[in-house]
Structure 1
Amino acid sequence: MDVITAIKLYVDKMTNESGPGMKILLMDKETTSIISMAFSQSDMMQKEVYLFERLDTAHSNERLKHLKAIVFIRPTKNNVALLCNELRSPRYGSYYIYFSNILPRTDVKLLAESDHSESVRELKEIYADYLCVNPNLFSLNMPNCLRGMKWDQECLQRCVQGITALLLSLKLKPAIRHRNGSEPAIQLAKHIYEKISKESSLFDFRTQDNGAPPPLLLILDRKDDPVTPLLNQWTYQAMVHELLTINNNRVDLSKVEGAPKDLKEVVLSLEQDEFYSNNLYSNFGEIGQTIKGLMDEFQIRAKSQKKVESIADMRNFVETYPQFKKMSGTITKHVVVIGELSVQVSKKQLLEVSELEQEIACRADHSAQLQRVKKLVSDENISIHDALRLILLYSLRYERHANCDSVGLLNLLKKRGGPVHVVPRMLEYAGQHSRQGDLFNNVKIMDAVKLTRSLIKGLKGVENVFTQHTCWLKEILEDVLKGRTIDPLYPCFGSEPFRRPPQEVIVFVIGGATYEEALAVHSLNAAGYNIVLGGTTIHNSDSFIKEVLAATDGVPIKHSRSLLKFHSPEGI
């Protein structure tokens, strides 16, 4: 199961079916992102697509009848109306129309009635309605999907469409499990189940072994693990997202001091950048050594290029120049990115901050940790954002501790002008009353299996103080893949549970996934499993805090009354 390959196959299908000749690609805002995540512009030009245009933006009325138009859009009412207008007065010789999801028959009729010149050659559904981030990671690019702890209805429908498209593109008809007691998870499971039932002919996939368990769609709720998105990250992709933010494979470096003019925005794509692809999950120390090795290799090649003394040297230079230039660009880009990461780690004292974060997340030591949090929150050299994250992690772990001092910490943050209203909202969103399962392993009585796993985990020790934390998702997946019962926490929707472990698992996190969770999925897949992770968005700590504030907007504070005076952002 590779979501990048699935998208690429659909795009190949579109360009191949239109035949040879110059082509223009008409897209909408979302399908533009879907294409750009899988292909570069030069890749598309090799497929004879030389022009790119948005169907939903103003354009000239110039007739270009020598061009074939490939239309790739989402099946929204607005897009169908725009396409009908285009077909009534066609600017191109022929149209090959592909919708990224299921198209209602009524819309097919509207399009047919608008095609007066009979210029439409193909009209098909393809199921490329999600952003492929990594081979095992997809996103629907929908931050802030909940309002008042309930679904924004447009976001709910978009989730149903995106997940349905993913299942169809991977040819999976899954059993569905959802987080018990989560109204958003129950609603999403219900809508997907109904969609699969309604479109049963599309999901009629032949299976080689009828006795095999069905694939599993596991719908989770972000509030069960608020810790993972709040932690500093130390693997390359996750670290870039936390400190610089990755937006549809692009990183904005315009505010980085000393960045070359042509690197104000860089593309980090697995398909187009071999160094990035090979070092996606490498830690910060390993990245530094790898880029140094690459620079040494480049310097050796650069010296050899200076000696052009014969015809043979000239020919060798011409043959190797494109590769040489590409290598030069790759090194320059990653040196700038890694350099900025290093600057921020030093400037923000992230090694000290991250060590304390990991300690709070992984073990209980209230008194010592409280003193260290107070010290760092009061330190002017620690950014307000990092101070806030430490208070959030402390409050989540110790909210019911007899000596919990969240009030004292918030008073310290308030003196620095920090956003103290975030903490009571976080506890309302994902406090102990809201979570299920044992996020911090605090229960006094465990079942035998969990007790054994906990002891083994403790005996193994910690190789790296900055990567002690294991995300909640990994523990859930290990239970699923080893056939342990998860019925009380994640019941099946619409069917009886299958007792044998599934061979394919799709995980979808309402409220957003993280790159740390993608790393956990990657590790399990490397061990022979078959898992794809997706979410409404991909979070770093900043976007997660914004997600929480949006979800709790208008929600009364009931479960952290002692912090009620910090609830309002006014006057901060």
Structure 2
Amino acid sequence: MAAHLSYGRVVLNNLREAARKELREFLDKCEGSKAIVWDEYLTGPFGLIAQYSLLKEHEVDKMFTLKEGHIPPAEVKNIIFFVRPRLELMDIIADNIRCEHKHHGPPRDFHILFLPRRSLLCEQRLKEQGLLVHFTHIEEYSLDLIPFDSDLMSMEAESAFRECYLENDQTILFSVAKGLMTLQALYGTIPQIFGKGECARLVANMMLRMKREFAGTQNQILPVFDKLLLLDRNVDLLTPLATQLTYEGLIDEIYEIQNTHVKLPPEKFAPKKQNESGRDLSNEPKKLQLNSAEELYAEIRDKNFNAVGSVLSKKAKFISAAFEERHNAKTVGEIKQFVSQLPHMQAARTSLANHTSIAELIKDITASETFFDKLTVEQEFMSGIDTDKVNSYIEDSIAQKEPLINILRLVCMQSVCNNGLKQKVLDYYKREILQATVCLICVLGPMVSPADVNEKYNTE
């Protein structure tokens, strides 16, 4: 059981267990030893639902990343492909199976599990290549809402906005509605649903239609949620463009939190003696899991970063005083009580050391003049100051070849705050960015590739 999902106003562990049950049922259909071939994008979100220990219980012996060519050798009876419904992935799967047939290895059963939806287009692509008949099971795994923390669920549909508003593809809205219906099946029917925006209206209508289709089959569960508020992203385009200033937000802003894990520079986490000697310092990033199962993180994650220092200081004094209590333990009972509390105290001390190191890393960034200048520009834009002309900070950032994503966020923020950019301002920014790219290519030399430029601009 996931500790961080087992408390709070809503016990989201029920949602996680429902997803695990569906997975177990599919794995049991594929009798015998198994190897899973992963669409690499899915491994992170999937790890929040089922760890390797659960897969191993159901005879999963090997796991590989989906790549072109031959699947690495494995003495298993079943090969299961866990993939998103993407046509390009079907071509890779087809290549894998052809390589398997060429090597004339032991006979195997092939299966596909689509996440989150089965795709007729993908099946048609395999059929056109004459390979659909080789699959024993082709099913879907409805991993719509993934519980990240006691108060956070996500669909991890990073392209949803682009699909809905640029490509006019509203397929994702069905997944949203289905995920919310799953939520109601587990936690009771939500009495009131409100929404703002066209997509919100479509999702609400889909939910009503699904409710009518399943009328009479719903279980009578006392509702846990009082209201559901659906908001289209285009209702508030400004928030995701602004720099996050909470503790958790700044960790994500600077180091990127991926599936509740973050990789941090190792130097701040080395023991003091090792750090002072300058020897044997590990070059491996420090990987930490961040969720509210950790008491200290739950307390400081949503605080403004400026308020974090005082909390850490108080915590340090409290832990220090708790360890000093060992000197006051005279009787066997008092010593026994102290020893019983020791694991929790040591975990708290480790947590404090980690978050103190993270705070120091963040402070090095937030105390810089560059960070302050960027915040100043954002505040000016949101106050309506100088939004209708070329901004000198953006101009300097382009000239200094700052990461392109940072430049575009500021340009987009200026556009939103000004209700669109003047054509001459937009043309100027485009010209400057293109010229900076050309200059970069000239500096790097004639052998530069577009991938090199992307890497420089952090656009991958």
Q: TM-score, normalised by structure 2?
A: 0.60
Indicate whether 1:169 and 2:182 are aligned: yes
* Corresponding residue SS for 1:429: helix
1:28 Cα deviation after fit: 1.3
Alignment of 1:509-528 (within 5 A): none
Which residue is 1:340 aligned to? 358
Provide the rounded CA distance (Å) in 1 between the counterparts of 2:75 and 2:260: 32
**1:33·1:131 contact (CA, 8 Å) conserved in 2?**
no
Distance 1:390 1:331, change over 3 A: same
2:174/2:206 contact within 8 Å kept: no
Name the SS of the counterpart of 1:390 in structure 2: helix
Aligned to 1:76: 86
Give me the whole-angstrom Cα distance separating, in 1, the residues matched to 2:352 and 2:239: 29
Partner in structure 2 of residue 286 of structure 1: 311
Which SS does the other structure have where 2:148 is aligned? strand
Unaligned runs of 5+ in 1: 181-185, 302-316, 350-380, 434-554
- Matches of 2:323 and 2:56, distance apart in 1: 29
Equivalent position SS for 1:246: coil
Q: Is the 8 A contact 2:244 2:253 kept in 1?
A: yes
Structure with the bigger percentage of helix: 2
2:114–2:141 CA contact under 8 A, matched in 1: yes
Query: Which residue of structure 1 aligns with residue 376 of structure 2?
Result: 390
Shift of 1:197: 5.0
Matches of 1:190 and 1:293 in 2, distance apart?
Answer: 52
Tell me how far apart the structure 1 counterparts of residues 175 and 68 of structure 2 sit (CA, whole Å).
24
Q: Give the partner amino acid of 2:85.
A: P
Match of 1:250 in 2: 261
Task: Report the CA distance between 1:218 and its aligned residue.
Answer: 0.8
Out of 173, 185, 188, the position equivalent to 1:160 is 173
**In structure 2, do the counterparts of structure 1 residues 16 and 104 end up closer, same or farther at CA, with 3 Å as the change threshold?**
closer
The alpha carbon displacement at 1:290 in A equals 3.7
Aligned to 2:232, the other structure's residue is in SS state strand
Structure 2 residue aligned with 1:27: 38
Superposed displacement of residue 3, structure 1: 5.7
Is the CA contact (8 Å cut-off) linking 2:70 and 2:96 kept in structure 1? no
Distance (whole Å) between structure 1 residues aligned to residue 114 and residue 147 of structure 2 = 17
Does the alignment pair 1:60 with 2:71?
yes
Whole-Å Cα distance in 1 between the matches of residues 24 and 43 of structure 2?
15
Deviation, 1:217, is 5.5
SS of aligned partner of 1:344: helix
1:108-158 deviation per Cα after TM superposition (whole angstroms, max 9, x unaligned): 7988995767x73x55433104554324323444557667x982328x556
Aligned-pair distance for 1:251?
A: 1.6
The one-character-per-residue Cα deviations of 1:71-107 (angstroms, maximum 9, x if unpaired) are 4333334445655676785877556653323325676
Q: Relative to structure 1, is the Cα distance of residues 273 and 37 closer, same or farther in structure 2, using a 3 angstrom cutoff?
A: farther
Work out the CA distance in 1 between the residues paired with 2:148 and 2:365: 30
Alignment of 1:163-562 (within 5 A): 163-171=176-184, 178-180=195-197, 186=198, 189-190=201-202, 193=205, 201=213, 206=218, 208=220, 216=228, 218-222=230-234, 224=236, 226-227=238-239, 230-235=242-247, 237-254=248-265, 259=270, 261=282, 264-270=285-291, 276=297, 280-281=301-302, 284=308, 285-290=310-315, 335-345=353-363, 348-349=366-367, 381-383=368-370, 385-397=371-383, 399=384, 404=385, 410-411=391-392, 425-431=412-418, 433=419, 557=422
Check if 1:99 corresponds to 2:114.
yes
SS of the equivalent of 1:6 reads helix
Distance 2:394 2:120 in 1: 57
State the TM-score, normalizing by the size of structure 1.
Answer: 0.50
* Greater RCO (Cα-Cα under 8 Å, separation 6 or more): 1
CA contact (8 A) 1:14 1:70 kept: no
Equivalent position of 1:126 in the other structure:
141
Match of 1:511 in 2: none
Residue 165 (structure 2) aligns with:
151
User: How far is 1:51 from its partner?
Assistant: 2.3
Q: Match for residue 10 of structure 1?
A: 19
Distance 1:208 1:344, change over 3 A: closer
SS at match of 1:218: strand
User: Structure 1 residues 215, 204: closer, same or farther in 2, change over 3 A?
Assistant: farther
How far does the alpha carbon of each residue in 1:161-194 deviate from its partner, in whole angstroms, 9 at most, with x for none? Answer: 54245224324688875534xxxxx257547856
Tell me the matched-pair count: 382
Q: CA deviation at 1:2?
A: 5.8
Taking the aligned partners of 2:292 and 2:60, their CA distance within structure 1 comes to 19
Give the fraction of aligned pairs with identical amino acids, expressed as a percent.
12
Structure 1 residues 343, 62: CA separation in 2 closer, same or farther (over 3 Å shift)? Answer: closer
Instruction: Tell me the secondary structure at the aligned position of residue 266 of structure 1.
Output: strand
Aligned to 2:265, the other structure's residue is in SS state coil
